Structure 1
Amino acid sequence: MIMNSRQIIKELKKAGFVLVKVSGDHHKFKHRNGKIVIVPHPQKDLPIGTARNIYKMAGLKWRK
């Protein structure tokens, strides 16, 4: 399964995360519950482990 950063960012925003900072190609998102997630963007083909870790840090359920 190929994941890209746009898909992940869309799901983070849907889950209530807000973009708080952009540093180079890393976008930092924060949720009101205090969770912070950093997504490399733009990147078309994220390694599966990176994508899975982003979901885990965000507290979102991983989907295959």
Structure 2
Amino acid sequence: MPKLPILKPRKVSKALERAGFILARQKGSHRIYIKDRLGVMIPYHNKDLKPKTLKHIIKQSGLEIEEFIKLL
């Protein structure tokens, strides 16, 4: 398994959009993306996402880590 990069939420959002996710709504500093029946919540602020948080986002999206990294 490749090491997860430290990313800004904006870059993660763009990768999810390339994977076919659509921004459903935003509440406060969290954005919720949907695709089919999958929902992914991203904390959207100026801080970097920790690798553990990024891993959880990737797991929620149903993508493999390698697939996600290719979308960046």
TM-score tier after normalising by the smaller chain length? 0.7 to 0.9
Q: What displacement does 1:43 show?
A: 3.4
Query: Which residue, out of 38, 41, 60, partners 1:38?
Result: 41
For 1:18-37, what aligned pairs fall within 5 Å after superposition?
18-31=22-35, 33-37=36-40
Unaligned stretches of 5+ residues in structure 2: none
- Structure 1's unaligned 5+ residue stretches are none
TM-score of the aligned structures, taking structure 1 as reference length: 0.87
How large is the Cα RMSD of the aligned pairs?
1.4
Question: Normalising to structure 2: TM-score of the pair?
Answer: 0.78
Runs of 4+ in structure 1 deviating by more than 4 angstroms, as ranges, are none
Shift of 1:18: 0.5
